[in-house]
Structure 1
Amino acid sequence: MKRFTSRLLHLLRTSALRLALRYALLQVLLLAVALAALFWVVNRYVNQQISTSLATELAALKSLPAPMLATRVAALAETPGPARGARHYLLLDATDTRQAGDVLAWPQWLPSDGTQRKGELILIEHDDDTHPARTPPHDDHEATPLPAVGTTLASGGRLLIAQEPGAAEDLREVALIAAGVVLLLAASLSLTLGLALGWQWLHRIERVNQTAGKIAAGDLTQRMQGDGRGNEFDLLATHLNAMLERIERAVAGMREVSDNVAHDLRRPLARLKTRIEVVLHQPRDAATYQRALADTLTDADELMRTFDALLSIARLEAGGETIAREPVDLATLARDMADLYADEANDSGRAFTLDLADGVATPGSRTLLAQALVNLLDNAFKYSAPGVALGISLHQDASHARLAVIDHGAGIATADFAKMTERFARADSARSQPGSGLGLALVKAIAHAHQGELTLRNTPGGGLTAELVLPLAAMPE
């Protein structure tokens, strides 16, 4: 009960309930305007019907001869109210003497030109309870205005007919009561629906807040729960979960990078420190100092390359690197990179083959794609023995260009393919070689920045094939 009361109080303070109440109020106001318009139409219709009926009877009575008219009016006035339609009559002669009827005198507010007016009448009271009678003005009771119409007769006399409210008034009262009931029901229903909607929204928002609280506390594995209906809450949950997934990967990557940086950069820094300490504590000749400085510069360059690679990867993954989306001729790029490594291939006795399909282009940055291809070629030359054949291939399928560097060296285990594209990842067989383990990670980041991917697979007969799968573009002119 306490939890229910707490949630209800919380609901009363929510913007969802305020919105629901405004919506309910707007609905009630619109319905009230509609009912008022309907009542006005009904009232106007009733008044028109009364006016038409009075005018019709007045014309019928006016057409009667004078003796017959007096007899007819007297008979109508003596007829019980319900039987004569709840009407009152007055017939005056040319001297305004009352000849017949149950109205005592002609009212001052009613003209005798056939125009209908509404006002109070002084009626003659009767002992018969079934005969409707208005109370004279001098009585303590309030008189009721009645619609009436009067005309001047050919004889100089005047004739008046007035209508009791009767069924018309009942219809108005029923219409007012019905309008009030409808408004009350509409307000109650709107408020109930508003509370139910606010309660439902509050429940959903509470789930989001609970999940957000856990995430704020450091649990990045939490995800927003949708209701599976494909509505705006599901769409919001999908977008938030995608954002959380990316944040979790970024944080995990930062932690991994921090650990790897601390581990992998400690060795070159320690080597620098040791070399400098040895040189400082033991006198050496100029040549020894020069070699020590040269080695220190080499290690410093390696550290700079490592940090540059880390910075490039971070910028590419964060989207901070602006990439020109211009068509790049991949065959020309591959030939240019092959020319750079031709001498090294000859010196190491390697067969360096090219299998390039012309007319294949991808949208992107030629500089970044060249860097990716250089990294793949560096790995192929570095981690394969002299004399092992290497090659570059370029082909395309229906929607992608496939640029691959192929070697026939020792290769790596299939289980290590995914790990090799992470920062500072190195195969056990490669740890004796210089390097930071960032080459494939940078290639992967460049591929993703171009809406492509880097795939690794075993080369038939042994070795590794590293392939860039990139979107196609029209060839540059």
Structure 2
Amino acid sequence: MPAPKPLTPKPFKPLNALGSFLTWAGGLFRPTYFKQTPFRLTLVFITVYSFVAVLIFAYVYVATSAENRAVTDAQVSARLDSLQQLYRERGEAEVKARLRQDDITEWFFIKGIYNSNGEMVAQNKRASLEMSTEVLSRIRAQVDTPQIEMGEAPGLSDFVINFRSYNNDGSMRKYRYRGQGLRIDPDRYLFVAMDMSWTDEGFDKGFTALWGGAILVVLMGLFAGMIINQEVSRSVQGLMSVLRSAEQGDLKVRVPLRHSGDEFDALAAQVNQVLDRVEKNVGSLKYAGDAIAHDLRTPLSRLRSNLELSLYDVEKDPSKAEDALSRALTETDQLLRTFQTVFAISRLQAAGQAPDPKLFDATALATDMAELYELSAADKGLEFDVEIEPNVWVMGNRDFLAQSLANLLDNAIKYTSVGGITFRLRKTSRGEIEFSITDTGMGVPEADRGRIVERFVRLEQSRSLPGVGLGLSMVAAVAEAHKGRLVIDEGPGKFGDQGPGLRTALVLPPTQG
């Protein structure tokens, strides 16, 4: 055998990789995204988040601005009062000395004294650099308001001072001050203001950061929404593809599980379970159809042969017509019973539960069934023992349960030639309701006990007896519909030449309430 060729890695092609990326990125911006729920939920979340963020920032801005204004007003008022008191106690010379001394520690403040002619009498260094005639005139106009008496401050106001230096780009630097002035003498005015440009710069930077952050959040939110929408759409499309294949008749298809434990995995698992059940039911129906066609071929052929013979006999002797029709009706009734049983089983399996369940007296049902089949057992020379626990109630469909017990009792009598049958109704230690039938018949080998509940399965030893192999299938379907089970065990053992017998039990769950 020739040696295998060594595997060579495929060369990386940047153009192919770029094309794949562009195709993926282009898919993120499909117009259909606005019609898809995940993306629309993302837009709603971004809108709500942005609105809440704006409200929070507005509150912070108002609260911070008010706090800064209050702190500024307090500091300006304190310095104004201090200079006014110093002027009254020690005179103008002391105030001028104070203004020269506090230039370093009070650089954020401009302070000055001017006369009624608008001439500056004294000022600190910052005021000499930034105070202009226009600003001074505005301060004078405010302080000279007729309603303001001497020694009273008119209140703080905001104004802008154009700084004499320039920025790097050639624009003039502007500072906002918040200040207060008052008349301390008929010809003297005192003014103190605080530089507010540091708070303005902080708010400006905050607004810039807010807008930049808002744009980034919106863009990242949209991008994340597109990715999430794509992932959700991929999962939904995979699920829809599987359902379309199942609709077209491919019942083998299944939704692949990602084993992530999320809702899509749970949905995929549930869909797979439904498909499993559908496939099983369709397979059962197909098997039932094949089995019906196979098992009914013989009685239909026999019926046709009997009709041909009867026709021949009737032609020879017309008095035999009644017997021929009677045999034909018997064969036809058997076929109808077979169909009715198959349909009943299919109905139970399709519904998955017992139709019209009601709480009824199981003791009365067991008593009625015992009285009915005790005579059949006696006609065959069999003993029929009954052990029925009183006051037992069960939730279910009485007709289906009665039919199941009839099938079990009929089988026990049919396959028991000597000995007897024991029919019991009891509550188990776990509260379950158990109908059991024990016979001394031929029994069923352990290897075949799982097969006899399948449709149309008949063991070799039962081929000579009447029946089509649907009795136990019906009982198993009724048990499953009632959330119970059918139990098949070995009987009491050898009884003469017969044995080991069979024990069948229809076990139903405990009745609530």
| Counterpart AA for 1:323 | D
Q: How many angstroms does 1:298 deviate by?
A: 1.1
Name the structure 1 match of 2:72: 50
Pairing partner for 1:161 from 174, 192, 200: 192
Separation in 1, partners of 2:165, 2:183: 24
SS at match of 1:448: helix
Could you tell me which runs of 5 or more consecutive residues in structure 2 were left unpaired when the two chains were aligned: 1-16, 494-499
Pairing partner for 2:434 from 402, 407, 416: 402
Name the structure 1 match of 2:207: 176
Q: How many angstroms does 1:195 deviate by?
A: 5.0
- TM-score normalized by the length of structure 1: 0.83
Separation in 2, partners of 1:269, 1:153: 129
Q: Percent sequence identity over matched residues?
A: 26
Contact 1:11-1:202 at 8 Å conserved across structures: no
RMSD, aligned α-carbons: 3.5
Counterparts of 1:431-470 in structure 2, within 5 Å, are: 431-461=463-493, 462-470=500-508
SS at match of 2:381: coil
Name the structure 2 match of 1:250: 281
Change (3 A) 1:69 1:371: farther
Separation in 1, partners of 2:291, 2:100: 115
| Counterpart AA for 1:377 | L
SS at match of 1:160: strand
Q: Could you report, residue by residue, the CA deviation over 1:151-172 in whole angstroms, capped at 9, with x for unpaired residues?
A: 2224364322233334333333
Change (3 A) 1:346 1:66: closer
SS at match of 1:418: coil
Which stretch of the first structure deviates more once superposed, 346-355 or 73-82? 73-82
Which stretch of the first structure deviates more once superposed, 226-235 or 256-265? 226-235
Contact 1:360-1:472 at 8 Å conserved across structures: no
SS at match of 2:395: strand
Pairing partner for 2:367 from 332, 335, 339: 335
SS at match of 1:115: coil
Separation in 2, partners of 1:69, 1:178: 50
Contact 1:39-1:176 at 8 Å conserved across structures: no
Could you tell me which runs of 5 or more consecutive residues in structure 1 were left unpaired when the two chains were aligned: 124-131
Q: Could you report, residue by residue, the CA deviation over 1:106-137 in whole angstroms, capped at 9, with x for unpaired residues?
A: 3145656331111346x8xxxxxxxx5499xx
Name the structure 1 match of 2:323: 291
Q: Which has the higher contact order (CA 8 A, sep 6+)?
A: 1
Pairing partner for 2:462 from 425, 430, 436: 430
Counterparts of 1:22-421 in structure 2, within 5 Å, are: 22-65=44-87, 70-71=92-93, 84-93=106-115, 98-101=120-123, 102=128, 103=131, 104=133, 105-107=136-138, 108=141, 113-120=153-160, 132-133=163-164, 145-155=176-186, 157-180=188-211, 182-183=213-214, 186-187=217-218, 190-191=221-222, 193-194=224-225, 197-198=228-229, 200-205=231-236, 207-209=238-240, 211-280=242-311, 283-319=315-351, 322-330=355-363, 332-385=364-417, 387-397=418-428, 398-421=430-453
Change (3 A) 1:178 1:3: closer
Q: How many angstroms does 1:354 deviate by?
A: 2.1
Contact 2:425-2:436 at 8 Å conserved across structures: yes
| Counterpart AA for 2:501 | G
Q: Could you report, residue by residue, the CA deviation over 1:341-399 in whole angstroms, capped at 9, with x for unpaired residues?
A: 233222222122223333443222333222111111111222333x3422212333222
SS at match of 2:507: strand
Change (3 A) 1:368 1:206: closer
Change (3 A) 1:79 1:210: farther
Separation in 2, partners of 1:251, 1:109: 96
- TM-score normalized by the length of structure 2: 0.77
Q: Could you report, residue by residue, the CA deviation over 1:17-75 in whole angstroms, capped at 9, with x for unpaired residues?
A: 44335434543443343234323333332222222211111111122336966546656
Separation in 1, partners of 2:26, 2:291: 52
